[in-house]
Amino acid sequence: MGKQRVSVILFDGFQLLDVFGPVDLLSCLPDLFEIRFLGPENAPVASSPGFAVSVTDRRDAPPDPDIVLVPGGLGTRTLVQDEPFLAWLADYASRASLITSVCTGSAVLAAAGLLDGYRATSNKRAFDWVTTHGKSVDWIRQARWVEDRNRWTSSGVAAGIDMTAALIRHLHGAEVAKKASDFLELEVHPDPAWDPFAR
Protein backbone atom coordinates (compact mmCIF):
# COMPACT_ATOMS: atom_id res chain seq x y z
CA MET A 1 0.00 0.00 0.00
CA GLY A 2 1.47 3.33 -1.06
CA LYS A 3 0.95 6.78 0.39
CA GLN A 4 -2.71 7.57 1.07
CA ARG A 5 -4.21 11.00 0.61
CA VAL A 6 -6.28 12.24 3.55
CA SER A 7 -8.73 15.00 2.60
CA VAL A 8 -9.76 17.01 5.68
CA ILE A 9 -12.97 18.95 5.11
CA LEU A 10 -12.72 22.41 6.69
CA PHE A 11 -15.71 24.70 7.35
CA ASP A 12 -16.34 27.76 9.49
CA GLY A 13 -16.61 26.73 13.12
CA PHE A 14 -14.81 23.38 12.94
CA GLN A 15 -13.31 22.07 16.18
CA LEU A 16 -9.50 22.37 16.20
CA LEU A 17 -8.68 19.13 18.02
CA ASP A 18 -11.09 17.18 15.80
CA VAL A 19 -8.72 18.03 12.95
CA PHE A 20 -5.30 18.34 14.50
CA GLY A 21 -5.48 15.38 16.87
CA PRO A 22 -5.83 12.97 13.93
CA VAL A 23 -3.63 15.06 11.63
CA ASP A 24 -0.76 15.20 14.14
CA LEU A 25 -0.85 11.42 14.48
CA LEU A 26 -1.02 10.82 10.73
CA SER A 27 1.76 13.36 10.17
CA CYS A 28 4.09 11.16 12.22
CA LEU A 29 4.01 8.82 9.21
CA PRO A 30 4.76 11.09 6.23
CA ASP A 31 5.72 8.13 4.02
CA LEU A 32 2.24 6.67 4.48
CA PHE A 33 -0.13 9.67 4.57
CA GLU A 34 -0.46 12.94 2.66
CA ILE A 35 -2.70 15.52 4.35
CA ARG A 36 -4.81 17.95 2.34
CA PHE A 37 -7.09 20.66 3.75
CA LEU A 38 -10.17 21.42 1.66
CA GLY A 39 -12.05 24.69 2.05
CA PRO A 40 -14.73 26.63 0.18
CA GLU A 41 -12.23 29.27 -1.01
CA ASN A 42 -8.47 29.82 -1.00
CA ALA A 43 -8.85 31.92 2.16
CA PRO A 44 -8.06 30.43 5.60
CA VAL A 45 -11.01 28.83 7.41
CA ALA A 46 -11.84 29.89 10.97
CA SER A 47 -12.15 27.21 13.66
CA SER A 48 -14.61 27.50 16.54
CA PRO A 49 -11.91 28.91 18.88
CA GLY A 50 -11.18 31.49 16.18
CA PHE A 51 -7.82 30.27 14.87
CA ALA A 52 -7.84 30.19 11.07
CA VAL A 53 -6.30 27.33 9.10
CA SER A 54 -4.91 27.61 5.58
CA VAL A 55 -6.44 25.43 2.90
CA THR A 56 -4.41 23.46 0.35
CA ASP A 57 -7.30 22.86 -2.06
CA ARG A 58 -10.64 24.45 -2.91
CA ARG A 59 -13.71 22.24 -2.83
CA ASP A 60 -14.40 23.00 -6.49
CA ALA A 61 -11.00 21.56 -7.51
CA PRO A 62 -10.32 18.84 -4.94
CA PRO A 63 -7.70 16.09 -5.16
CA ASP A 64 -8.89 12.50 -5.40
CA PRO A 65 -9.18 11.23 -1.82
CA ASP A 66 -8.21 7.90 -0.28
CA ILE A 67 -9.54 8.92 3.12
CA VAL A 68 -12.05 11.69 3.86
CA LEU A 69 -12.15 13.19 7.36
CA VAL A 70 -15.07 15.38 8.47
CA PRO A 71 -14.50 17.09 11.85
CA GLY A 72 -17.18 18.34 14.22
CA GLY A 73 -17.62 21.71 15.87
CA LEU A 74 -20.26 24.38 16.25
CA GLY A 75 -20.24 24.93 12.50
CA THR A 76 -21.88 21.55 11.93
CA ARG A 77 -25.18 23.01 13.19
CA THR A 78 -25.58 25.02 10.00
CA LEU A 79 -23.62 22.70 7.71
CA VAL A 80 -26.24 19.93 8.08
CA GLN A 81 -28.74 22.28 6.39
CA ASP A 82 -26.42 23.36 3.56
CA GLU A 83 -27.86 21.29 0.70
CA PRO A 84 -25.27 22.26 -1.97
CA PHE A 85 -22.44 21.35 0.42
CA LEU A 86 -24.08 18.05 1.41
CA ALA A 87 -24.54 17.10 -2.25
CA TRP A 88 -20.88 17.93 -2.93
CA LEU A 89 -19.75 15.90 0.10
CA ALA A 90 -21.87 12.89 -0.86
CA ASP A 91 -20.27 12.85 -4.32
CA TYR A 92 -16.73 13.60 -3.19
CA ALA A 93 -16.61 11.20 -0.24
CA SER A 94 -17.99 8.36 -2.37
CA ARG A 95 -14.67 8.40 -4.25
CA ALA A 96 -12.72 7.59 -1.08
CA SER A 97 -11.92 4.11 0.20
CA LEU A 98 -12.49 5.28 3.80
CA ILE A 99 -14.97 7.87 5.07
CA THR A 100 -14.34 9.09 8.61
CA SER A 101 -15.64 11.67 11.06
CA VAL A 102 -14.83 13.02 14.49
CA CYS A 103 -17.42 14.22 17.00
CA THR A 104 -20.44 15.92 15.40
CA GLY A 105 -18.89 15.41 11.97
CA SER A 106 -21.00 12.25 11.92
CA ALA A 107 -24.13 14.43 11.82
CA VAL A 108 -22.78 15.94 8.61
CA LEU A 109 -22.05 12.51 7.11
CA ALA A 110 -25.54 11.39 8.12
CA ALA A 111 -27.19 14.50 6.65
CA ALA A 112 -25.36 13.80 3.39
CA GLY A 113 -26.78 10.26 3.36
CA LEU A 114 -23.35 8.72 3.85
CA LEU A 115 -24.24 6.77 7.00
CA ASP A 116 -27.57 5.27 5.89
CA GLY A 117 -27.36 1.53 6.59
CA TYR A 118 -24.26 1.91 8.78
CA ARG A 119 -23.49 1.83 12.48
CA ALA A 120 -22.06 5.11 13.80
CA THR A 121 -21.43 7.18 16.91
CA SER A 122 -20.80 10.78 17.90
CA ASN A 123 -20.16 13.22 20.73
CA LYS A 124 -22.27 12.21 23.73
CA ARG A 125 -23.10 15.81 24.73
CA ALA A 126 -24.58 16.38 21.28
CA PHE A 127 -25.81 12.81 20.73
CA ASP A 128 -29.54 13.54 20.83
CA TRP A 129 -29.13 16.26 18.19
CA VAL A 130 -26.77 14.24 15.99
CA THR A 131 -29.07 11.24 15.89
CA THR A 132 -31.90 13.25 14.30
CA HIS A 133 -29.89 13.13 11.05
CA GLY A 134 -29.80 10.35 8.49
CA LYS A 135 -32.62 8.00 7.50
CA SER A 136 -31.45 4.55 8.60
CA VAL A 137 -28.35 5.04 10.74
CA ASP A 138 -27.77 2.58 13.60
CA TRP A 139 -26.51 5.05 16.21
CA ILE A 140 -24.35 3.50 18.96
CA ARG A 141 -24.39 5.57 22.14
CA GLN A 142 -21.67 3.75 24.08
CA ALA A 143 -18.61 3.72 21.85
CA ARG A 144 -15.28 5.52 21.73
CA TRP A 145 -15.47 4.97 17.99
CA VAL A 146 -17.38 2.74 15.60
CA GLU A 147 -15.97 0.98 12.56
CA ASP A 148 -18.51 -0.35 10.08
CA ARG A 149 -16.95 -1.49 6.83
CA ASN A 150 -15.41 1.66 5.30
CA ARG A 151 -17.15 4.12 7.66
CA TRP A 152 -15.30 5.14 10.82
CA THR A 153 -16.96 7.58 13.25
CA SER A 154 -15.66 8.68 16.63
CA SER A 155 -17.17 10.09 19.79
CA GLY A 156 -16.33 13.57 21.07
CA VAL A 157 -13.21 15.57 20.19
CA ALA A 158 -10.27 13.65 21.71
CA ALA A 159 -11.84 10.31 20.75
CA GLY A 160 -10.81 11.10 17.19
CA ILE A 161 -7.19 10.51 18.17
CA ASP A 162 -7.97 7.01 19.45
CA MET A 163 -9.96 6.27 16.28
CA THR A 164 -7.05 7.46 14.13
CA ALA A 165 -4.62 5.22 16.03
CA ALA A 166 -7.00 2.30 15.40
CA LEU A 167 -7.27 3.26 11.74
CA ILE A 168 -3.48 3.28 11.37
CA ARG A 169 -3.39 -0.11 13.12
CA HIS A 170 -6.06 -1.40 10.72
CA LEU A 171 -4.19 -0.19 7.65
CA HIS A 172 -0.55 -0.72 8.61
CA GLY A 173 -0.39 -2.92 11.71
CA ALA A 174 0.15 -2.47 15.42
CA GLU A 175 3.88 -1.73 15.20
CA VAL A 176 3.38 1.25 12.87
CA ALA A 177 0.52 2.58 14.98
CA LYS A 178 2.63 2.30 18.13
CA LYS A 179 5.51 4.12 16.44
CA ALA A 180 3.21 7.08 15.71
CA SER A 181 1.62 7.23 19.18
CA ASP A 182 4.99 6.79 20.91
CA PHE A 183 6.38 9.72 18.94
CA LEU A 184 3.64 11.91 20.44
CA GLU A 185 4.04 10.24 23.88
CA LEU A 186 0.38 9.37 23.52
CA GLU A 187 -1.39 6.64 25.47
CA VAL A 188 -4.31 5.56 23.30
CA HIS A 189 -7.44 3.69 24.35
CA PRO A 190 -7.45 0.60 22.10
CA ASP A 191 -10.96 -0.55 23.06
CA PRO A 192 -13.69 1.04 20.87
CA ALA A 193 -16.31 0.18 23.50
CA TRP A 194 -14.50 2.15 26.26
CA ASP A 195 -16.77 5.16 26.76
CA PRO A 196 -17.23 6.62 30.24
CA PHE A 197 -18.83 9.71 28.67
CA ALA A 198 -21.88 7.74 27.54
CA ARG A 199 -23.05 7.23 31.13
Domains along the chain with CATH numbers: 4-198 (3.40.50.880)
Task: State how far the Cα of 53 lies from the Cα of 127, in Å rounded to an integer.
Answer: 27
Q: What is the pTM of this model?
A: 0.97
Confidence of residue 1 (pLDDT cuts 50, 70, 90): low
pLDDT digits (tens, 9 = 90+) for 32-75: 999 999 999 999 999 999 999 999 999 999 999 999 999 999 99
Give me the catalytic one of 103, 111, 166, 167.
103
- Residue 2 confidence (pLDDT) above 90: no
Question: Is 28 one of the annotated active-site residues of the chain?
Answer: no
Q: List pLDDT tens digits, range 99-153.
A: 999 999 999 999 999 999 999 999 999 999 999 999 999 999 999 999 999 999 9
